[in-house]
Amino acid sequence: MKPGTHTIGALLRGGATDRAALRAPGRATLTHGALQSWLDESPEQIAALGVGHGDTVALVLPPGPALATAFLVLANAGVAVAPLNPDYQRAELEFYFDDLQPGAVVLARGATGPATDTAAAHGLPILELLEGEQAGRFSLGGAAGAARASPARPEDVALLLHTSGTTARPKLVPLTHANLTASAGNIMTTLALSASDCCLNVMPLFHIHGLVAGLLAPLGAGGAVYCPPGFNALKFAAWLQDAQATWYTAVPTMHQAVLARAQRQQGAPGDAPLRLIRSSSASLPPAVMRELEASFGVPVIESYGMTEASHQMASNPLPPAARKPGSVGPAAGPEIRVRREGGWAGVDQEGEIVIRGANVISAYRAAEAVNAAAFVDGWFRTGDQGYFDADGYLFITGRLKELINRGGEKISPREVDDVLLEHPDVAQAVTFAIPHPKLGEEVAAAVVLKQGATLDESELRAFARERLAGFKVPRRVVLVAEIPKGPTGKLQRIGLAQALGLS
């Protein structure tokens, strides 16, 4: 690979200097020219704060354009950026800070709360971010030092994200510039993105979906990104119109909320030149796809993404090619195969989905045993089950990994077990998924109390709420005398909802 190519800096070099790059409600526009000059100057400025090439920096920032540019500017300086969910509680932040060992933490100036307290308790240098007038403009203050400034290379880690999976604690996924720019390029191709596109980005910017599909791909095409402060169904129509968005990408629960409002108001919300709607991160019910297309009059493109693949793996194509409701489409970037015991699956045969390509990680930052289990013959095991139809369209049918997909938010059930087990009155705890009409899956837990304990469901949920971000807190906690066992006598999460009459 030639130096200078396959980096985020190089990807963002293509935009016409006078065109909008970043926009936000009530903010002045940041042009591609301004963003490019900023990227050129910033490595020196970042180094003067004591953070340099090869360092890790955690971001705990509210949603909005400054979180987007903080990622771009720091990654362009060769920093490995770890954006964290601002809803994390102290116990979660302690885990992430321990695992990441960041050289600094970026917080909004004047911010208070668990992130400020935990960073201070860990003795981590804090960089205070102060937003400017233009969308995404910020200055950083706080620590000072003299780190090495040198531009990022393709093999440098740009983004550090954690994924929930089979292990109790989330695994660390190091994504390089080469991985991320390959994925952004795949999305640009799938959606035929150009400089005249504007993406309304309502996805969280601490998740791969929002960072790659909602930020890098549209900017890489020379187009614009409109970054509101997170998702809000009530403001969505106004944002769509203000942005004059040509597309947006979201998870199915957001689409459902947008659709419910559009249906109440009878008609597509806002007056925007939309040309497509994209859905990813959880399965899109075919009825929602149909109704969205009818309400907005544009194609709804369902894609299949994953953190370890820098997001996109498969996608339904734009018209005139066919999009199939219930399918995530043909491979759209990496190679995808379905593996069965003893070989590859044939058409319509179910097996484990495996992938390989430039957008896929080569290893977790984890123990050797974890990586040995994650790959087979050079193919990355997604932990998802599915099959290809005769047209090469992929259908996802299930999961081999222990993960709850709550409308796109992923929860490791063992992490929730561990928190419940910390309660002195809890003898056993098993977290599992229960079906939910909108979210697809919701978190529930079966708990056996210690003898003589008189704890109730709401006390246990309150205990969990102090230690876990809201989306991980079980909505139902069922107190049982014994946890039902599977046919082999083993504790099984799958089937628990049914055994307890919750499905």
Six-digit token string for 404: 């709850």
Looking from the CA of 111 toward its CB, the CA atoms found within 13 Å total 24
Among residue numbers 251 through 290, which ones bind ligand AMP (CB under 6 A)? 280-283
The minimum distance between CB 19 and ligand AMP, in angstroms, equals: 30
Choice between 38 and 304, CB closer to ligand AMP:
304
Six-digit token string for 222: 């020379």
Letters for 185-214 (x = contact with ligand AMP by CB under 6 A, - = none) are -----------------------x------
Contacting residue, 76, 134, 163, 183, with ligand AMP by CB under 6 A = 163
Contacting residue, 256, 307, 312, 327, with ligand AMP by CB under 6 A = 307
**If binding means CB under 6 A, how many residues of this protein chain bind ligand AMP?**
18
Query: How buried is residue 365: exposed, middle or buried, by Cβ count under 10 Å (0-12/13-18/19+)?
Result: middle
Query: Judging by DSSP bridges, how do beta strands 379-388 and 394-399 pair with one another?
Result: antiparallel
The minimum distance between CB 408 and ligand AMP, in angstroms, equals: 7
Choice between 189 and 385, CB closer to ligand AMP:
385
Q: Interface with ligand AMP by CB under 6 A: which range of 301-309, 340-348, 364-372, 465-473?
A: 301-309
The minimum distance between CB 468 and ligand AMP, in angstroms, equals: 17
Q: Interface with ligand AMP by CB under 6 A: which range of 46-54, 195-203, 304-312, 467-475?
A: 304-312
Closest residue to ligand AMP, based on beta-carbon distance: 307
Is-contact 404 413, C-beta < 8 A? yes
Q: Is 304 in the site for ligand AMP (CB under 6 A)?
A: yes
Q: Which of 367, 458, 354 is nearest to 400 (CA)?
A: 354
Contacting residue, 212, 245, 396, 478, with ligand AMP by CB under 6 A = 396
Q: Which of 360, 315, 308, 298 is nearest to 334 (CA)?
A: 360
The H-or-E segment that residue 179 falls in is: helix 177-190
Query: How buried is residue 46: exposed, middle or buried, by Cβ count under 10 Å (0-12/13-18/19+)?
Result: buried
Choice between 125 and 325, CB closer to ligand AMP:
325
Cis peptide before 320 (omega within 30 of 0): yes
Choice between 219 and 282, CB closer to ligand AMP:
282
Return the number of other C-beta atoms located less than 10 Å from residue 369's C-beta. Answer: 8
Q: Is 410 in the site for ligand AMP (CB under 6 A)?
A: yes
Is-contact 314 331, C-beta < 8 A? yes
Contacting residue, 103, 305, 357, 407, with ligand AMP by CB under 6 A = 305
Q: Is 302 in the site for ligand AMP (CB under 6 A)?
A: yes
Q: Is 382 in the site for ligand AMP (CB under 6 A)?
A: yes
Choice between 228 and 305, CB closer to ligand AMP:
305
Q: Which residues contact 24 (CB under 8 A, 6 or more apart)?
A: 64, 65, 135, 136, 226, 227, 228, 229
Bridge partners of residue 303, in order along the sequence: 315
Is-contact 335 355, C-beta < 8 A? yes
Q: Interface with ligand AMP by CB under 6 A: which range of 79-87, 133-141, 297-305, 368-376?
A: 297-305
Query: How buried is residue 99: exposed, middle or buried, by Cβ count under 10 Å (0-12/13-18/19+)?
Result: middle
Six-digit token string for 270: 């806002």
Residue type present at position 407 = G
C-alpha to C-alpha distances, 232 to 205, 236, 273, 401, nearest whole angstrom: 15, 6, 20, 31
Choice between 31 and 183, CB closer to ligand AMP:
183
Q: Is 315 in the site for ligand AMP (CB under 6 A)?
A: no
Q: Interface with ligand AMP by CB under 6 A: which range of 46-54, 226-234, 302-310, 342-350?
A: 302-310
Contacting residue, 306, 358, 374, 460, with ligand AMP by CB under 6 A = 306
Choice between 156 and 352, CB closer to ligand AMP:
352
Return the number of other C-beta atoms located less than 10 Å from residue 139's C-beta. Answer: 11
Whose tokens are 């629960």? That residue is 253
Choice between 147 and 215, CB closer to ligand AMP:
215
List of residues contacting ligand AMP (CB under 6 A): 163, 208, 280-283, 302, 304-307, 328, 382, 384, 396, 399, 405, 410
